[in-house]
Amino acid sequence: MAELFRMPAVSADDTAGVLSAWQVAEGAAFAADDALICVETDKAEVEVPAERPGVLLKTLYEPGTEIEVGTPVAVIGAPDESVGDLDALLAELGVAPAAGADVVRPERRTVPDAPAPDALIPDSPAPRTPVPPAPPAAEAGAAPGARLFSSPLARRLAREAGLELAELTGTGPGGRIVRRDVEAAVAARRNRPEPSAPPREPADRAASPAPARVQDPAGSGHQDIPHTRMRRAIAARLTESKQHTPHFYLRATCEVDELLAFRQRINAASPVKVSINDILVKAAALAHTAVPEMNATWHADAVRRYESVDVSIAVSADRGLLTPVLRGVERMSLSAVATATRDRAERARSGTLRQADLEGGSLTISNLGMYGVEEFAAIINPPQAAILAVGAVRDEAVVRDGAVTAVKAMTVVLSVDHRPVDGAVAARWLAAFTGALADPMRIVV
């Protein structure tokens, strides 16, 4: 039997999300656990699976629309179900088109005093007064006071780009200003040639100095790339971390000759290739087991310590930096860590991570060694207690028994939240971690 599919809350505190893409075409069948839609959250584009098999009878929103949690976004039916009169079915399900509107891909309405003819209005016990169709959106230069209709997402994008709604031409239903209209205006402004500067007045005719203007150097070009939801979330989260989390830093140089030889022996015998980063993840889990006080996060009323060691790995993707979590690393074999890490990295880059993949953990490992970076200090990903920044393996001269010898060395910097973790605890953890790298057989026994 046909039913409504509603906008899900992919994390506990979500009130709205952006419908990023439909993964199933209208009229197509799907199986249980097949992805129906992608929803853009603050951290990733999350695929929302179907709970049972069925067919997608009708989609109600275009991709790119910001939608409140719980709003109907599609009509789904049982396998092989078809519908003759879609309007009658929508009315039966408690959703009816507003007066004068077709049931086609509406923009979400969130402002009560801005009636949208294309919005879907749920039935309620109280009768509703039909909403008159909205007038076409005002053209650029429209008369002052003309009422403009736009989606919430379009209003936000226009505000961020410094555009007035009166400058835009709406191409949405009923002439409504939608996301693509703002993006088109931004692109047009970017390609518009800069006006030539007016001739300067003689000095003796200038009544007062003109205000200083900041301009790009002559002949230089630039491109303004609008912030994505994820980019804003990353910026807000890390800014908050630096402002409110008291960081302190511990640095260590690790000799990794034994580790490199150990990895070579493992990869010669195992069908699953193990990276240096996989070994670092296991070494971190070993250190967490040895110093359980580090396996903690700060909360308003308590320090929460965990029994399982969950470690996040930093992955650079087109959409931004993601930190998927490996759970129960202390119980995993090295090959299992390698397999799980590769899976998380591939799904991060393809945008198919689920929200649950990004939540939890008390430590993140961020490795920039593959880019030749020798040392850096990373910002803690709240609410985690620490992040380990890993540099490149390099040749270094050391003195042993009065003689200079060459070794393979790697620098790590541990950034720690001083609220749940004291300096001595972090120092013991770092000693356990570097000790595991010096004797990597401890990692697999």
Characterize the bridge pairing of strands 35-40 and 247-255: unpaired
Q: Which residue type does 386 have?
A: A
For the ranges 148-152, 177-181, 351-355, 419-423, which has the lowest average pLDDT? 148-152
The pLDDT, as a whole number, for residue 333 is: 93
Told to judge if 418 belongs to the known catalytic residues of this protein, a careful annotator would answer yes
Regarding whether 433 and 297 lie in a shared domain, the answer is: yes
Average pLDDT, the chain: 79
Distance of alpha carbon 270 from the chain centroid:
34
Residue 224 forms part of a structural domain? no
* 143-162 pLDDT per residue, tens: 444 556 666 667 777 877 88
Which residues 6+ apart lie within 8 Å of 173 measured at CB?
A: 101, 102, 104, 105, 106, 107, 116, 117, 118
Mean pLDDT in residue range 388-406: 92
Q: Which residue type does 105 have?
A: R
Q: Which domain holds residue 310?
A: 246-444
The pLDDT, as a whole number, for residue 113 is: 36
Regarding whether 143 and 100 lie in a shared domain, the answer is: no
Residue 240 forms part of a structural domain? no
Of the candidates 222, 247, 288, 418, the residue annotated as catalytic is: 418
The pLDDT, as a whole number, for residue 406 is: 92
Cα angle 62, 63, 69; round to 5: 90
Which residues 6+ apart lie within 8 Å of 389 measured at CB?
A: 366, 368, 375, 376, 377, 378, 412, 413, 414, 415
The pLDDT, as a whole number, for residue 429 is: 97
Give me the count of residues in the chain. 445
The pLDDT, as a whole number, for residue 342 is: 94
Regarding whether 184 and 46 lie in a shared domain, the answer is: no
Which residues 6+ apart lie within 8 Å of 442 measured at CB?
A: 286, 435, 436
What DSSP designation does 199 have? P
What pTM does this model have?
Answer: 0.59
The CATH number linked to 165 is: 4.10.320.10
Tokens 């005719």, residue located: 205
Regarding whether 304 and 394 lie in a shared domain, the answer is: yes
Residue 114 forms part of a structural domain? yes
What DSSP designation does 143 have? P
Regarding whether 142 and 22 lie in a shared domain, the answer is: no
Mean pLDDT in residue range 162-174: 76
Regarding whether 367 and 250 lie in a shared domain, the answer is: yes
Residue 286 forms part of a structural domain? yes
Q: Find residue 49's DSSP bridge partners.
A: 35
Q: Does 390 score more than 90 pLDDT? A: yes
Mean pLDDT in residue range 108-115: 36
What DSSP designation does 210 have? P
Per DSSP, the three-state class of 97 is: strand
Other residues' Cβ atoms within 10 Å of the Cβ of residue 144: 6
Regarding whether 430 and 282 lie in a shared domain, the answer is: yes
The CATH number linked to 33 is: 2.40.50.100
For the ranges 107-116, 150-159, 337-346, which has the lowest average pLDDT? 107-116
Residue 245: band (very low, low, confident or very high) from pLDDT cuts 50, 70, 90: very high
Regarding whether 22 and 166 lie in a shared domain, the answer is: no
Residue 231 forms part of a structural domain? no
Mean pLDDT in residue range 243-257: 94
Residue 232 forms part of a structural domain? no
Helix axes 179-191, 152-161, angle to 10 degrees: 20
Mean pLDDT in residue range 99-116: 38
Mean pLDDT in residue range 71-82: 85
Number of domains in the chain: 3
Other residues' Cβ atoms within 10 Å of the Cβ of residue 249: 12
The pLDDT, as a whole number, for residue 317 is: 81
Regarding whether 305 and 375 lie in a shared domain, the answer is: yes
Question: Distance (Å, rounded) from C-alpha 169 to C-alpha 188?
Answer: 13
Residue 241 forms part of a structural domain? no
Mean pLDDT in residue range 244-250: 95
Question: Distance (Å, rounded) from C-alpha 228 to C-alpha 42?
Answer: 9
* DSSP tally for the chain: helices H, then strands E: 9, 20
